[in-house]
Amino acid sequence: MAITTASVAETCEAAQRAARALGSAPTEAKDAALAAIARLLGERAGEVLEANAADLADERAEALTSALRDRLALSDERVAVMAEGVRAVAALADPVGEELERRTLESGLDLRKVRVPLGVVAVVYEARPNVTIDCAALTIKSGNAIVLRGSHYAERTNGALAAVVREALGEAGLPEDAAVLPAGGGREDLAELATQEQTVDLLIPRGGEGLKNALKDVATVPVIYAAAGNCHVYVHADADLEMARRIAVNAKTQRPGVCNAAETLLVDAAVAGEFLPAALAELRDAGVELVGDERARASAGGVEVGEAGEGDWASEYLDLKLAVAVVDSVEAAIEHVNAYGTRHSEAIVTRSREASESFTAGVDAAVVYTNASTRFTDGFEFGMGAEIGNSTQKLHARGPIGLRELTTYKYVVRGDGQVRE
């Protein structure tokens, strides 16, 4: 286990010391650490899965929904996917040192704008232990140290995975404290982590609105919220209905416990009677609980659809449940999405370029799809190797947070004796 018993402040100070060394490490050393992580995941898979089985059997995990237990559970295949994700990060270009701009000033000074690491990144996350590896891989490659604060009910699994990361860092000659996993997990520890402004350069919470609101009350460090995903699929009047059915079912059922799964299906009134019976029947047969507005229920063709309440439109179920509404136009769909969505991922299914462009321009979200499932909002799918989360904000980073989003820049200026008059 790699969980440290030091205080939160001491842990963050150790990470800061490591960040200063890692920030100037050559690409070759960082890539060697990533290669070692991928190899050790294979060699230590048995230990990781044993720790995961113990977490799943623990009484702290008993109250989790089936979707959250799925997020917590690992298998040989999922461990292998983690290792492949690390290799994908290693194959990406190192962002550190990238020259963003260069020019000569009137004074003759040579000014360069170059990409540099943020420093210490803290990530707070729930349920998914693969986040431990994904985040560590991204921060190592981008020259940052990471403070990992996972769920208490994934404590053993995260500890086993963090131990792999720290061993790999040591093998590569890099400081092991570039990845630290503090003990604890209560609200007091979270508040302490969120106020380490002398050592933590960025905090990224991955979780629901409860976690987001808890941090808003106490955080004094910069925060990028990788928050809730109340995502929508809108079936336009000019949609290919077979395509729309496939997209709606995939967006809801492919993996319902993740933030880019669809939570609401919007259907244009012009095609509701034709589209909904077969689509809702397939969703029902996949185990999806359906709730809807009056028009959706009337168009369901005998498929049982419960009555949706106001809270359903704003809910991120993270489970096999879907809210369904009938709308009268693209404008009405946009209005609904902007009223209830969380600015994560939204999709329209249509053959109309005009409708697509209206929806894309009008919807306020990090990612907007035409004729594709929302499930593609993912660092690996976007060619980033992995992601540290999906930002629903508009400053610095939006959408999948990858290598470049974990950097800032500095100006490097060279002269030959200039002084300012």
What are the structural domains of the chain? 3-226+388-414 (3.40.605.10), 231-376 (3.40.309.10)
Residue 235: pLDDT above 70?
yes
d(CA 280, CA 296): 10
Q: Is 24 exposed, middle or buried (0-12, 13-18, 19+ CB in 10 A)?
A: exposed
pLDDT band at 396 (very low <50, low <70, confident <90, very high): confident
Helix (H) and strand (E) counts in the chain = 15, 17
pLDDT band at 5 (very low <50, low <70, confident <90, very high): low
| pLDDT above 90: percentage of residues in the chain | 80
Average pLDDT over residues 178-201: 87
In 132-288, the DSSP E strands lie at: 145-149, 179-182, 202-206, 231-235, 262-268
Pairwise pLDDT comparison (226 vs 125), residue with the higher score: 125
Residue 1: pLDDT above 90?
no
Q: What's the confidence (pLDDT) of residue 390?
A: 87
Beta pairing, strands 110-117 & 99-104: antiparallel
d(CA 256, CA 321): 8
Cβ distance 316 to 68 under 8 Å? no
Residue 292: pLDDT above 90?
yes
pLDDT band at 175 (very low <50, low <70, confident <90, very high): very high
> Strand pairing partners for 327?
268
The dihedrals phi and psi of 182, each to the nearest 5 degrees, come to -70, 155
Mean pLDDT is lowest, of 30-34, 205-209, 247-251, for 205-209
Q: What's the confidence (pLDDT) of residue 68?
A: 80
Residue 4: pLDDT above 70?
no
Q: Indicate the pTM of the whole model.
A: 0.84
Average pLDDT over residues 153-160: 94
389: left (phi over 0), alpha (psi -120 to 50) or beta: left
Residues 43-77 have pLDDT tens digits of 999 999 999 999 999 988 888 878 788 889 999 99
What is the DSSP secondary structure assignment for residue 313, as one 8-state letter? Answer: H
